[in-house]
Amino acid sequence: MLDFERLQKYLDIPETARMMLSAPEKQVIMSVNIKVGAGKLLIYDSYLVYHNLVLGPAKGGIRFAPNVTLAETRTLAELMTYKCALMGIPFGGGKSSIALNPRSISEFEKRMLIREFVHMIRDELVSGAYIPAPDLGSTPSDMAIIYGETHHPESVTGKPPRLGGLPGRREATGRGVFTASRLACREILNLDVSKASVAIQGCGNVGSHSAAFLHESGARVVALSDVSGGLYSKAGLPVPAILDFVRQGKLLEEFPAEGLERITNQAILALPVDLLIPAAVEDVLTAETAPGVQAKLVVEAANGPTTPEGDQILARKKIPVISDIMANSGGVVASYVEWRNAKSGNQTSAQETYDFIDAKMEGAFKDVARRVREQKASWRDGAYLLALSELISAMRDRSWI
């Protein structure tokens, strides 16, 4: 996934380090089978991947998606390796997934499925080798089931706060996106985020909380979308009303849009705004869509929203991209705080969680900005250079290279 050849001109990458980062340390393929009634057997493919553990145990969410594959799980685990290294978090990159549409089964069946999955990887969880969290399709309640099976509060993060979870954890990724946007506006556009116009593709956990923090800061959120389509207003959307509507489980196509325009997800990518935030799924800024981008800056809230071809087009258009390993790292930073608290017995308020995310993000952003200026690298390459430097140094500290 990582283009070592391109980064080699900025950083001496030992061949041993390149080899260890080019392939995952561990891949497990499982079949999760549960009998839920007379003659009814549910069977789902499942995957667990450790990419690189030089910095610590494998950290990465559990993804429930019907089309998830081992290759996708491997890519997401690799992203976690660089994300943790960039943020200075003592975790390695991991990920797990179950090829399941969670809405296709009952809540009871899902609970049985999660318990069976825990039984299959129990040694990984109890030993602390793998620490899961919510991801696409999974929820804090699902993490509570895992905790109930292991009885170790540090074995899983993203739990409900009453069960040892972290206040502010649900909003954490969106908080990180907001902080990255604020810092990038100031550093790159010489613009206060409160004066920025923003288009956000995606209204799930990440997109909705990103929109909330940006709106509260005074930014003008002009477009917001979900799987059913989007809403647009040049003057700015009524973000609190829209988010209240979405939290009721309703789609934006049902929102009473008097005075607003309906817009497609693809059209959102081409709006003339200061900030474009793809916060939904991967591979949306492609060779087909990137030529139409008119934003001054792209902030990747989703994992892998830009393809290599799309990235090249944005570079030719001189549109800076704040990469996903920087922009959406708030979640893993908060997970570290929850994991640390579970071990120590400490408690943290939501504001303290936000402050910790802000501090980690500001420190990493400052170091990346210095590399961008000194080495004339892109913002994406600057983030990977900092992460790679941390990983290589850790490998040397552990006598791996």
Partners of residue 299 on adjacent β-strands? 322
Please enumerate in sequence order all residues whose Cβ is within 8 A of that of 371, keeping only pairs 6 or more positions apart, or say none: 10, 377, 382, 385, 386
Closest CA to 124 of 58, 45, 51: 58
Among the listed residues 9, 40, 95, 250, the single catalytic one is 95
Can you tell me the distance from the alpha carbon of 157 to that of 166, in angstroms, rounded to the nearest whole number?
A: 8
Q: Spell 311-349 as b/e; 16+ CB within 10 A means b.
A: bebbeeeebbbbbbbbbbbbbbbbbbbbbebbeeeeebe
Q: Per the annotation, where are the binding residues for substrate? A: 59, 83, 335
CB atoms within 10 A of CB 305: 29
- Residue tagged 């059913």 (tokens): 228
Angle between helices 70-87 and 379-397 (to 10 degrees): 80
Q: Where are the alpha helices (DSSP H) in 190-248?
A: 205-217, 239-247
CB atoms within 10 A of CB 299: 29
Can you tell me the distance from the alpha carbon of 147 to that of 164, in angstroms, rounded to the nearest whole number?
A: 10
Q: Per the annotation, where are the binding residues? A: 59, 83, 173, 205, 335
- DSSP secondary structure letters along 82-93: HHHHHHT-S-EE
Partners of residue 277 on adjacent β-strands? 200
Whether residue 95 lies in the annotated active site: yes
Can you tell me the distance from the alpha carbon of 26 to that of 66, in angstroms, rounded to the nearest whole number?
A: 23
| C-alpha of 142 from chain center | 18
Q: Which residues are catalytic?
A: 95
